[in-house]
Structure 1
């Protein structure tokens, strides 16, 4: 297959842990060709197909100069067998516009994973609200009085912005309510911005688990991102320690319930975040943790992903 990865700049990849890199490496190992571009390289001229200035590359096997660029053509996206949208968040206006260009490419015959429409339809924090039986008590609101009532009911709560990533902007407020008003004003910008409030789940001390679902099927190991020191956030970007571990019965129940539903919507790869017994996020933009699970547990996640991609292309 001829694959195009729409991603961040190749020079910024940390290949020792980068999931997109691991996908490229497995694809090349199987004889597939690899090309890459950034969303800013997508273009659409009236009357013509969506195209991109791409970098055709060959992986070298080195961790430093890890790729060699073999050509730099401008190609229509429908000239590739599959286009993989792997741009990291934030899901800002430019990301949003990129999904529209990718959806137009689909109309022209391109196969895009994850589905551009589903990327737009599944905001990573709000998406959990579709599955209330797996979610801890949660409130989405702009109203500071609703936040106060939620805190009075649940006492120990987490507040976070809907567009945050890597643990950014997450606050915990305990029973004393210290700084609840100030935190709410900061996050919701005096009522202009919607925020999410959830009952605190104490099992966070055991890790914020990333459960990967590929082609509707769960990877049998999660990566528990365990908070360090006095930190309440387990995100790796916030200093959490990643520990691969087998799925619990509850992890598997959540993944098996959501997996087929999300796969039917064109979400080939999903990262479910689970704390204790509760689903907290559904990550669809560029789920990670392939290499950490592979290295620690021995399960070849990149191979499972390329298997699923090949099966999707053959369907």
Structure 2
């Protein structure tokens, strides 16, 4: 099977090919002989005449050579229903109105071009919102804006707190509040000023010093995991903020979490998902917008998670054509 693939992502010039999951997926597609296109979400255009969704895109080839990792052809207007079989929606958040509008436009391709992950489910299941459906696996969690609500939560869960934006990514703007709550009011004011949405508050989990496990599921099935540990002087373990990865296996509790999530993710068309678990038992995020981690997983395990993802995409695309 040959699939014509368009990748909706950030500029190729800016990526770190050593660990970029989108680049890893592009290499995997290219190895299967799939022609690749790259475009920016801001070039999407929908015309009601003919129900056409187009993008200003360029054909690309990729190679794992630092500083010379892609070749780009001439930009041209492509019809995402007629010229493309599969779209990888891989641009990084912020999960703002621009992102949401992109999902609305891509949704119009249903039944004609396969979009991975499914744009409807991505829109309805942002990382720190969908996870609330699985509260039995989460640490105590509050989503709120008022300082009064945060103080009530803190009284129930004395000790250090973690405050983070509801639609953040990569560990950005995640704050640890000391047990005395000395900077809680100021942080609440800051979050209320910078972000229009509520924020998330959880007890600080000391287990994070032992790592924050990223588990990747492909079409609901566990494909592998890495343990991300905080760097020197940090409590955040995200690789984007200085954390580092190590090989790992799953605990019985993590296997239980994955078994509960797997069928739901598969039914929602969420093919490539990365979940985060702290201390072997606390589910904190379900990453569906632009999940990462497959490069490190393949390096430690000798696996081919990109290949598993493309296998799942081929199966889904064939099923879509059958109707």
Q: Same fold (TM over 0.5)?
A: yes
Residues 57 and 71, structure 1, Cα contact 8 Å, conserved in 2: no
Corresponding residue of 1:198: 202
TM-score normalised over the length of structure 1: 0.94
The 2-side partners of 1:214 and 1:103 are apart by: 21
The 2-side partners of 1:243 and 1:89 are apart by: 26
Residues 272 and 279, structure 1, Cα contact 8 Å, conserved in 2: yes
Find the residue that maps to 1:255 and give its secondary structure.
helix
Corresponding residue of 2:6: 4
Pairs aligned (count): 313
Corresponding residue of 2:26: 24
Corresponding residue of 2:131: 128
Find the residue that maps to 1:64 and give its secondary structure.
coil
Moved over 6 A (4+): none
Corresponding residue of 1:226: 229
Aligned CA RMSD, in angstroms, stands at 1.8
Q: Which of residues 102, 115, 118 is equivalent to 1:115?
A: 118
- Check if 1:237 corresponds to 2:244: no
Corresponding residue of 1:88: 92
User: Which stretch of the first structure deviates more once superposed, 54-63 or 97-106?
Assistant: 54-63
Corresponding residue of 2:269: 266
Q: 5+ residue gaps in structure 2?
A: none
Return the offset for 1:190: 10
The 2-side partners of 1:164 and 1:146 are apart by: 21
User: Which stretch of the first structure deviates more once superposed, 61-70 or 81-90?
Assistant: 61-70
Corresponding residue of 1:68: 71
Q: Which of residues 288, 292, 296 is equivalent to 1:292?
A: 296
The 2-side partners of 1:68 and 1:193 are apart by: 40
TM-score normalised over the length of structure 2: 0.92
- Check if 1:43 corresponds to 2:48: no
Corresponding residue of 1:215: 219
Return the offset for 1:65: 1.8
Return the offset for 1:253: 1.5
Residues 223 and 244, structure 1, Cα contact 8 Å, conserved in 2: yes
Residues 142 and 192, structure 1, Cα contact 8 Å, conserved in 2: no
Corresponding residue of 2:312: 308
The 2-side partners of 1:168 and 1:96 are apart by: 20
Q: Which of residues 278, 283, 286 is equivalent to 1:282?
A: 286
